[in-house]
Amino acid sequence: MSSKAQLKVGDPIPSFELFDQQGNTFKSADHIGTPLVIFFYPKDHTPGCTAQACSFRDHESEFADAGALVVGVNSGSVDQHSGFSEKYNLNFPVLSDPDHSVRKSFGSPGLLFTQVADRVTYVTDKDHNVAYIFKSLLLATSHVSESLNFIKSLK
């Protein structure tokens, strides 16, 4: 099975619907007009992913002030995301993509034979075209500074 080519700057993101950590449906189309900062990450409760999610949490108001919505995505269940969000007081949607369909629709590579999300962040413009991509597995918290600096540069 061939995977979709990875999205590039200028490409529209695929429209998607996933459940958030509270079991509510998150529809990307409901947020047209708002830039999105979508970060795919490997796993809840691991050191790098926790640091990344908490860093997005700590800077969420800066993203909001710049008019952007932060969204985390991985294959964890709604229940797993609920516990992760509660433990770390996450203040943005954390979406469950159990079959990796959304990650794969972005053409985002996976680890372990694509069974685990790689760490990649997509920043969109208000029309949901990719404006910036940052990929780094090891520099988890850099995703926040990289995407925040980019969002602020748009203002």
Residue 113 maps to a domain: yes
Q: Are 26 and 95 in contact (CB under 8 A)?
A: yes
**CB-count exposure of residue 38 (10 Å: 0-12, 13-18, 19+):** buried
Q: What is the pTM of this model?
A: 0.88
Q: How many domains does the chain have?
A: 1
Single-letter amino acid code for the residue at 103 = R
Residue 20 maps to a domain: no
Q: 20-29, 98-107, 141-150 — which is least confidently predicted?
A: 141-150
Residue 42 maps to a domain: yes
Catalytically annotated residue among 13, 49, 69, 71 = 49
CATH of the domain at 127: 3.40.30.10
pLDDT tens digits, 90-122: 999 999 999 989 988 998 766 544 444 577 899
Among this protein's residues, is 49 annotated catalytic?
Answer: yes
Q: What's the domain range around 93? A: 34-154
Q: Are 108 and 130 in contact (CB under 8 A)?
A: no
Residue 22 maps to a domain: no
Residue 121 maps to a domain: yes
Q: In this predicted structure, what is the pLDDT of residue 114?
A: 47
In this model, does residue 2 exceed pLDDT 50?
no
What's the rounded mean pLDDT across residues 117-141? Answer: 80
